[in-house]
Structure 1
Amino acid sequence: MNIVLVQVKISLDEISPLPKEFPNLLFLHLSENSCRNLGKEHWERVEVLFGGHLTRNELKMATNLKWIHAPNDDLSNLCLDEIEQRGTVLLTYSENPNAKETAEFVSACLFSFAKQLFRWKDATKFPGLLWDAKWINSMWNLKGKTMLQIGLSTTGLAIAAMGKSLGMKVVGVHSKKSFHPSCKKTLTFKELHSVLPAADVVSLALPKQQQFHRFFGKNELQLMKDDSILIVVESNRAVDEEALYEAGQKKLRGIVIDAYRETPISAHSPLFTLPSLIVTPDVARLPSDKKSPLFLEFKHNLRHYLQGSFMDMRTLFNPATIAEISRQSLI
């Protein structure tokens, strides 16, 4: 009997009915740390991995692995290059169930910088100069401003919809051009430099994947409009910290980084000396008070996987793998 290895924390009520619905599979629920002690004889029987951690050595032992469902779009702890080389392992993931909360967080950041709320807080230290403060003439009306939304995942689309609702002109940037009702137009990553100089607000919501490490660097920051706003959620690794420090000293109106818990900004980083910077500890998605659809998405995909209807699996990361699976099944 082949194994479904479950690394994700799920309740007993969720996992208990699985053997009845899927009697030909053995569900093994282990923590990520416990998986490290899993022997070769068990890895050889693993057909499905429900989790986000897989090393090269584990993949090498998992000779029967056919499908991985990651709990989120952070695939950096999966040996993606080796998975791609094997060519027969399907990879799906669950999208952010708290995209609306993240969009609300971005909205709060926009209003705070547009209306100079943090500057006014500083101005109150000198009451006699309050009425002559230079920020009186620098207030923004967000309506009509151009917002560049880089990354159109579930979170990115929610942020784009929020921007449109405020009357902003939203331009989406993603891996490929597509239609999104909240975006005035969408461009590819290769076209990013052509639109950066026109953006009043740049919002990054990129996956936590190695390919986006320092995606937004010195060249991109130099192309940003003076007095513009930069907001980074989901992955602070997408921005080059050294280049951001240089740009943040004079160029940018405001910077918000919702730092990912597993890659915090160093306490000694010079970024913390920037008066226009706000760093938050992975709170954009909060409060998370609703039941996550993670387990339901996994069950949906598991049913289609067992039926062989791979194209009906949600959030398929590597659809090209289906062709290789089909080819090998004919051999």
Structure 2
Amino acid sequence: MRYKLLVTGPALTAEATAIAARRGAALIANAHHASPQELAEIAAREQPDGIIVRQGKIDDQVIGASAKLKAIAKHGVGYDNIDVDAADRRSIPVFVARGANSQSVAELAFALMFAVAREIPRLDARIKTGHWDKATTRGAQLFGRSLGVVGFGEIGRILVGLVQPLQMKVRIFDPYMPDDTEIAVAERVGSLDEILTASDVISLHCPLTPQTRNMIGRDQFARMRRDAILINTARGGLIDETALFDALRDGVIAGAGLDSFAEEPARPDLPLLTLPNVVVTPHAGASTQAARDAMGVLAVNHIMDVLEGKTLDRRAMVNKKQLDVA
């Protein structure tokens, strides 16, 4: 094979692997959650031409370990675990699998809404331990309630479509959305506070940046409705987890559905995991076969296009403003 691609995590699907082979690339998989130092050692030893990021932190030492590195592609859309500045300094483009997992993530957000509102995991566990709580269960109905969507990219748009049969009143907050964006079935609001105070369900779909880190904290929970449900299928760092624990324990809000955590994998002793009104999944929004296939194929093709000197998909490039690679 002419090229090497380091995959930081489990092996890619058969389709993506076949495309890599057809385009002359050998894949080097590293299935466990490796530290940056471990990944840097692998990169120094293997000298990959590209890195496909499935898990782990890709920092300056990892990026600088291979003199042959020409491109980095995220097996997903969140890139806060990649040091983009370090890639910029070496003129290495960073890509995301734009749109590949949007449907799957939106569907999980939709599912978490029901799981929290109807206490599905708790009731399932109770039945399996010999209890029958029909008379005492008090689930919440979602029909006709209000939904606040923070971040109106592809995932947020799909979620808005999914809730239409529920006749929910939908409000959108996204300060980066162009003013002329058409939203036929939702109201655009001008502040996060308007979402917090007016929504029965709040779903986060924004990237983790210095501006959005801990954007939902103690002050924000105080503004939310006592029967509110918070859904996060984006990044764990968007929420102050200590404040969330207190809000859920003390009844400040009703429940939360979390697919991401500030530290991943989540620690078994994380206090949030002890609460009955929290439903959690292991950052599995994109963990469907359809999404894995699409993300792997896009990641491989993004890197191979760079290595083969082909036209690049600038829409999927994170650092296109810093690089003249069109």
Q: TM-score range by the shorter chain?
A: 0.7 to 0.9
Determine the structure 2 residue equivalent to 1:51. 53
User: What SS is found at the alignment partner of 2:170?
Assistant: strand
Of the structure 1 ranges 47-56 and 224-233, higher mean CA displacement relative to structure 2 is found in 47-56
TM-score (norm 1): 0.72
- Aligned counterparts of 1:60 and 1:74: Cα–Cα separation in 2: 21
Residues 236 and 260 in structure 1, CA contact (< 8 A), matched pair in contact too: yes
Task: After TM superposition, give the deviation of residue 172 of structure 1 in Å.
Answer: 2.8
Distance 1:299 1:187, change over 3 A: farther
Task: After TM superposition, give the deviation of residue 257 of structure 1 in Å.
Answer: 1.6
- Aligned counterparts of 2:123 and 2:219: Cα–Cα separation in 1: 32
Residues 237 and 263 in structure 1, CA contact (< 8 A), matched pair in contact too: no
Determine the structure 2 residue equivalent to 1:146. 146
Determine the structure 1 residue equivalent to 2:220. 220
Distance 1:210 1:4, change over 3 A: farther
- The aligned amino acid for 2:170 is V
Confirm or deny that 1:90 pairs with 2:124: no
- Aligned counterparts of 1:107 and 1:208: Cα–Cα separation in 2: 21
Residues 73 and 303 in structure 2, CA contact (< 8 A), matched pair in contact too: no
Distance 1:244 1:93, change over 3 A: same
Confirm or deny that 1:78 pairs with 2:79: no
- The aligned amino acid for 2:28 is L
TM-score (norm 2): 0.73
Determine the structure 1 residue equivalent to 2:186. 184
User: What SS is found at the alignment partner of 1:278?
Assistant: strand
Determine the structure 1 residue equivalent to 2:21. 16
How do 1:25-174 and structure 2 match up within 5 A?
A: 27-32=25-30, 36-39=41-44, 43=47, 47-51=49-53, 54-62=58-66, 65-84=69-88, 86=89, 88-95=91-98, 97-114=100-117, 130=135, 135=138, 140-143=141-144, 145-174=145-174
Distance 1:303 1:314, change over 3 A: farther
User: What SS is found at the alignment partner of 1:77?
Assistant: coil
Distance 1:210 1:7, change over 3 A: farther
Q: Percent identity?
A: 18
Task: After TM superposition, give the deviation of residue 244 of structure 1 in Å.
Answer: 0.7
Task: After TM superposition, give the deviation of residue 18 of structure 1 in Å.
Answer: 1.0
- Aligned counterparts of 1:47 and 1:134: Cα–Cα separation in 2: 56
Distance 1:209 1:95, change over 3 A: farther
Determine the structure 2 residue equivalent to 1:22. none
- The aligned amino acid for 1:31 is A
Determine the structure 2 residue equivalent to 1:203. 203
- The aligned amino acid for 1:257 is L
- The aligned amino acid for 1:164 is Q
- Aligned counterparts of 2:43 and 2:115: Cα–Cα separation in 1: 50
Number of matched residues? 303
- The aligned amino acid for 2:279 is I
Determine the structure 2 residue equivalent to 1:7. 7
The Cα offsets for residues 92-116 of structure 1, whole Å up to 9 and x where unpaired, read as 1114644434433433443455567
Determine the structure 1 residue equivalent to 2:236. 236
Quick one: which of 308, 311, 319 aligns to 1:309? 311
Distance 1:214 1:303, change over 3 A: same
Task: After TM superposition, give the deviation of residue 176 of structure 1 in Å.
Answer: 0.6
- Aligned counterparts of 2:292 and 2:132: Cα–Cα separation in 1: 44
Distance 1:206 1:14, change over 3 A: same
- The aligned amino acid for 2:18 is D
User: What SS is found at the alignment partner of 2:163?
Assistant: helix
Residues 60 and 83 in structure 2, CA contact (< 8 A), matched pair in contact too: yes
Distance 1:36 1:215, change over 3 A: farther
Residues 151 and 204 in structure 1, CA contact (< 8 A), matched pair in contact too: yes
Distance 1:300 1:171, change over 3 A: farther
- Aligned counterparts of 2:44 and 2:274: Cα–Cα separation in 1: 49
The Cα offsets for residues 278-326 of structure 1, whole Å up to 9 and x where unpaired, read as 233344555536761134324543565445634x344221220234x57
User: What SS is found at the alignment partner of 2:203?
Assistant: strand
- Aligned counterparts of 1:313 and 1:209: Cα–Cα separation in 2: 21
Residues 228 and 254 in structure 1, CA contact (< 8 A), matched pair in contact too: yes
Distance 1:154 1:320, change over 3 A: same
- Aligned counterparts of 1:29 and 1:285: Cα–Cα separation in 2: 21
- The aligned amino acid for 2:226 is D
Residues 91 and 316 in structure 1, CA contact (< 8 A), matched pair in contact too: yes
Task: After TM superposition, give the deviation of residue 203 of structure 1 in Å.
Answer: 0.8
Distance 1:296 1:109, change over 3 A: closer
Distance 1:48 1:211, change over 3 A: farther
Structural RMSD (CA): 4.0
- Aligned counterparts of 1:300 and 1:134: Cα–Cα separation in 2: 50
- The aligned amino acid for 1:151 is G
